[in-house]
Amino acid sequence: MRNIRSRHPWYDLKFEVRAHLKRRPSVYIPLSRLRQGTADELDPTRFSDPNAVRPDTEIVMEGFYSSANTFAVVAFRLAQGRPIRMAHHLHAAAQLSAAAKLGVPTMVIIREPRAACTSRVVRHPPISLSQAMREYVDFYEEVTRRLPRFFIATFGAVTADFGMVIDRFNVRFGTTFRPFDHTAANVDRVTSVIDERWKRKYGGVLTNVARPSPDRAALRAPVEAEYDTSAITALRSRSEELYRSARSSAQI
């Protein structure tokens, strides 16, 4: 059994309330903007702080948890050479709905449910696998509902050649963002930026840092076994069905 923090008695209620709100852009987006406060959204060091879409947002970059979101945001910002007003890291259907309504160019990064949900569980205890999969279904139902409005990029494409992803995004929306030069040196630079930000934010601790980690890989094995053998058949089938639908529309 995986090692998790003790569950607070109110945790499940909090999860349910948050899940409910994340499906409602008229409520969740204003609340998310309030949480941002008056912080400078153009500050490149705030790459992992959630930003909600606004009418003046230049690009929305969203995905389910553990889908290379932080890598993409950091790599994108480093490539531009100028401040970029981005919306990212809400991991919420509300963000996608609001972005579609505002007509903001939107990139959705997709990852298959087994990897994404098990990583979500390991990185963010005490969330359960069934809760992670319910979040996945909520998010991907909004993705598939509005597929023609989004640029769909696979996790594999983002982590292998993000420069090509940006090039094709520019073609799709007529934007002129600079592509990321996906060299080993630049990937190392992205990793260094992520690690340094994490250390500053969490007092030097890299636990649950937003990048691949050998320590977490070992913890995923029992959660993956739970995904493969547990009784959550309906959630597993629905999440995999939604992923296939989104994957069939991926531009890269």
Residue 205: phi and psi, rounded to 5, are -90, 130
CB-count exposure of residue 39 (10 Å: 0-12, 13-18, 19+): exposed
Please report, rounded to a whole number, the percentage of residues in the chain having pLDDT higher than 90: 67
Blockwise average pLDDT, block size 10, the chain, 252 residues? 51 89 95 70 62 94 96 94 91 97 98 95 88 97 96 98 98 98 96 81 55 69 89 92 96 84
Q: What is the CATH number of domain 53-247?
A: 3.40.50
Determine if the peptide bond prior to 105 is cis (ω within 30°).
no
**Structure confidence by residue, pLDDT tens digits, 15-47:** 999 999 999 999 999 999 887 754 445 565 566
Residue 126 and residue 122: Cα distance in Å, rounded?
A: 9
